[in-house]
Amino acid sequence: MCSGTEPDADFAESSATPAAVPVIRVLTLFPDMVRAVLATSIPGRAERQGQVRYEVTDIRDFAVDKHGSVDDTAYGGGAGMIMMAPPVVEAVEKVRGRDDATVILTTPQGETFSEQLTLELLADLQAKGELILVCGRYKGIDERARDLVVTREVSIGDYVLSGGELPALVVVDAIVRRLAGVLHDEDSAANDSFTVDRDGGLDCAWYTKPPVYRGLTVPEVLMSGHHANIEKWRRQQAAERTRQRRPDLAPPEPQGGRVPRQDRKERQQ
Ligand code: ADE
């Protein structure tokens, strides 16, 4: 459970066994921060239920000297500290269960995280039995660490955070909630925004008790008990929302009417 730095030799050997629990290894300079989030809510439940295992490694355990140094100034000058290559490379090599494991660096320079990338990384985790995330810090990491051990770089958006921990946690959360059995009915991902069920668009509006709040009522159709009408309303609502808020995700309006749902799915593939 959110354990230390020991490599998972047993797992590496048993990764061909379908029953092996996939492991997500997070390398960070802030292990307590990462462990706290991974033990909470749905990521925590996923581990407690045995659908995934987290291994959090403190990169400082691989510092280059007894002072715990993991960063230094940039060659050529310039403001900001750079994470050194040796601690990062040696940490990855120590924890990695298999040589071809995907090693993701979270960085604003990476490919933008998305629903599609979530499913790709989920498939990767399931196929290889492990996924490694390295959380960048400071101004960046020495390019040689990228060259030597990083296989993929992921950004969670065009803004700069203080470090890669929150982005790594975003990535892990998005992945583990899609593992079979993690989500129960009450928090199902089936018709979330961006899913195939929503044609890649946004989700609809949702309501719960009370039926009237500060004079605001619930749309009548939702109280009707007529499931087909409710489903139709939700689809229309979701499509309308997508057109208004995220026109970039909405299917184009053809001349002479809306595209039938099935055609839109095929067009997305
Ligand atoms: N590290 C700092 N900012 C980041 C971002 N937007 N995405 C991924 N990693 C980051």
Alpha-carbon distance 170 to 83, whole Å? Answer: 22
Structure pTM? 0.86
Question: Whose Cα sits closest to atom 5 in ligand 1?
Answer: 108
Percentage of residues in the chain having pLDDT higher than 90:
78
Q: Is 107 in the pocket of ligand 1 (CB under 6 A)?
A: yes
Q: What is the pLDDT of residue 220?
A: 98
Ligand 1 in contact with 159 (CB < 6 A)? yes
pLDDT at position 205, please? 96
Q: What is the pLDDT of residue 227?
A: 98
- Residue with the smallest CA separation from ligand 1 atom 9 is 107
Any idea which of 1-5, 88-92, 115-119 has the lowest mean pLDDT?
A: 1-5
Q: What is the pLDDT of residues 205-263, one digit of tens each?
A: 999 999 999 999 999 999 999 999 999 999 999 999 999 999 999 988 777 655 555 44
Going by alpha carbons, the residue nearest to atom 4 of ligand 1 is 108
pLDDT-based confidence at 189, cuts 50/70/90? confident
Lowest mean pLDDT among 11-15, 78-82, 220-224: 11-15
Residue-level pLDDT at 10: 39
Band (19; pLDDT cuts 50, 70, 90):
low
Pocket test for ligand 1, best of 156, 159, 169 (most atoms within 8 A of CB): 156
| Binding site membership of 140 for ligand 1 (Cβ less than 6 Å) | no
pLDDT value at residue 262: 47
pLDDT in tens, 49-75: 999 999 999 999 999 999 999 999 999
Percent share of the chain, pLDDT over 70: 86
Residue 201, number of CB atoms within 10 A of its CB = 23
Mutate to test the pocket of ligand 1, among 107, 134, 146, 150 (most ligand atoms within 8 A of CB): 107
